[in-house]
Amino acid sequence: MERSEEMYAERVRSLAPADEPERQYYFIDVMKSVLAEKESRIGRKLTMNVVTFGCQMNAKDSETFSGILSAIGYEETDSEDADLVLYNTCTVRENANTRVYGRIGYLGNLKKKNPDKRIILCGCMMQEPQAVEKIRKSYRFVDVIFGTHNIYKLAELLFEREVGGELVIDVWDKATGIVEDLPRRNKYGFKAGINIMYGCNNFCSYCIVPYVRGRERSRSAADIVAEAEHLAENGVREVMLLGQNVNSYGKNTPDGITFAQLLHMVSKVDGIRRIRFMTPHPKDLSDELIEEIAANDKVCKHVHLPLQSGSTAVLKAMNRHYTKEQYLALVEKIKERIPGVAVTTDIIVGFPGETEEDFAETVDVVRKAGFMAAYTFLYSKRTGTPAAKMEGQVPDDVAGERFKRLLDAVGEVSAREAQVYEGSMADVLCEEYKAKEGLMTGRLDNNLLVHFPCDETLLGEIVRVELKTCKGFYYLGERCE
């Protein structure tokens, strides 16, 4: 850094407020002028593109990134040709990482044509020291790397990159607290995610999340309700409450409000018509929660309940704390108490030690539980997790073949579950419009999709639709006037 630049940077830092989020609003303002100066130098507006990998939590964080970057003055585009590209990464399975490396290489080529391009990498994969090391060595054109615990610092880190002229790495191994009230750019307008807690304490033996997202921290119910109110005032009708294990909500907050009570509080917010949540853990899903879902009209009749395996022996090795029978009894109870509920799930195939008999137990649960949908995954070995060191890693061809059989079973069962609604009427939230076909895609309370002819103005509205033809996991329908 030149001496005068160093003095400028020092002065900017010394005037920065110590408290958050004020500090970040200050750096947003600083970056606004940096950007304006760049734009007048090159004679055009600068653009940004935020790319999300992985789960709903990442999608939610990406709204904060888009919010911060828009507040700085970047215009959002959907092309990686943009002047700033941010990858919000996932590392839950190895192939997520492989994909990201390939795409970073591609960004490097784009940067050769636009040397002012900024490449930002953040999210779960960046919490892994090997990944950061590899990027530092092999992808030297990257500009900023940060992890999951300091996402609120984006503006400050961008500033450090601008004044320092080289790669900025800021990855924390622990969270310090929860920073509220950052800018946010809501992707849909009518639906939005709300984080209710961060991190996970479960340590399922295959899972890397507890290592990259840290220990459980719940937000206060008052902050969550205030966020829901603010969203509702801005036109949001459906909120999804997000956490790695929502049943643990409130276990580490002073007010001790349970997740079921929180659902109730959010449902009192005027303007919110639908509430979804993700993800409960079968080991501690309470009767109180089941009763709240059943009794509360605003809570969607959909429970996503990750099974992972149907074999009690494998579940034990996975550290899941329930048996096949307990899982099935729980699904039965949910279906009995919540009429019309859809149960969906996640399943892993090829966990170390999984035998043909274990796999047959999984298929058995799929048939007995009657899932409306199941997300199926091939087991992926994650370095640092206990399962990575377990004996009996299943060969790829064996796992692949089981995976195909599982897909067949899931397809059959979910088509059967979806079929029962044929000919009935349902309220759907209009979520996406395809102008070419003149078709709206709406979602039922139970998460099923329906496509029906209608005009674009109804986007974001809840309308009544007749479910005419079942096409497996979705419907073709007609709007009832």
DSSP label at residue 19: S
With respect to ligand SF4, which residue has the nearer C-beta, 212 or 470? 212
Select the residue interacting with ligand SF4 from 244, 248, 414, 446 (CB under 6 A): 244
Helix or strand run (H / E) with residue 69: helix 56-72
Verify cis geometry, omega within 30 degrees of 0, for the bond prior to 21.
Answer: yes
Among 93, 281, 402, 479, binds ligand SF4 (CB under 6 A): 281
Contact with ligand SF4 (CB under 6 A): which of 44, 203, 416, 464? 203
Q: Which of 210, 353, 370, 386 binds ligand SF4 (CB under 6 A)?
A: 210
Q: Strand 197-198 and strand 191-195: pairing?
A: unpaired
346 binds ligand 5AD (CB under 6 A): yes
Q: Could you tell me the end-to-end alpha-carbon distance of the chain, in angstroms, rounded to an integer?
A: 66
309 contacts 348 by C-beta, under 8 angstroms = yes
Residue 71 or 394 having the CB closest to ligand 5AD: 394
H or E element: which one contains 452?
strand 449-453
**Total binding residues for ligand SF4 by CB under 6 A?**
10
Which among 319, 326, 275 has a CA at the least distance from the CA of 305?
326
How many DSSP H helices and E strands does the chain contain? 14, 19
Q: Could you say whether residue 99 binds ligand 5AD (CB under 6 A)?
A: no
| Distance from C-alpha of 397 to C-alpha of 415, rounded to nearest angstrom | 27
Among 90, 163, 196, 207, binds ligand SF4 (CB under 6 A): 207
Edge-to-edge strands of the sheet including 47-52? 75-76, 47-52, 84-89, 118-123, 144-146, 168-170
For residues 66 and 380, which CB has a smaller minimum distance to ligand 5AD in the complex?
Answer: 380
Judged by beta carbon, residue 278 or residue 313, the one nearer ligand 5AD is: 278
Query: Exactly one of 62, 380, 414, 446 binds ligand 5AD (CB under 6 A); which one?
Result: 380
Binding region for ligand 5AD (CB under 6 A) out of 326-334, 376-384, 400-408, 432-440: 376-384
Beta-strand (E) ranges in 246-329?
274-278, 302-304
Residue 8 interacts with ligand SF4 (CB under 6 A): yes or no: no
Q: What tokens were used for 422?
A: 């044929």
Q: Return the residue of 348, 369, 399, 467 that touches ligand 5AD, per CB under 6 A.
A: 348
The per-residue DSSP string of 198-261 comes to E------TT--HHHHH-S-EEPPHHHHHHHHHHHHHTT--EEEEE-TTGGGTTTTSTT---HHH
Classify 301 as helix, strand or coil. coil
24 versus 245: smaller Cβ distance to ligand SF4: 245
Write down the least CB distance from residue 308 to ligand SF4, Å: 7
Binding mask 245-264 for ligand SF4 (x = CB under 6 A): x-------------------
Q: Which partner from the list ligand SF4, ligand 5AD, none does 203 bind, CB cut-off 5 to 8 Å by kind?
A: ligand SF4
Spatial distance between the Cα atoms of 453 and 190, rounded to a whole number of angstroms: 20
Residue among 203 and 375 whose Cβ is closer to ligand SF4: 203
Least distance (Å) from ligand 5AD to the CB of residue 123? 15
Q: Which residues bind ligand 5AD (CB under 6 A)?
A: 92-93, 206-207, 306, 308, 346, 348, 377, 379-380, 382
Report the interface residues with ligand SF4, using CB under 6 A: 200, 202-204, 207, 209-210, 244-245, 281
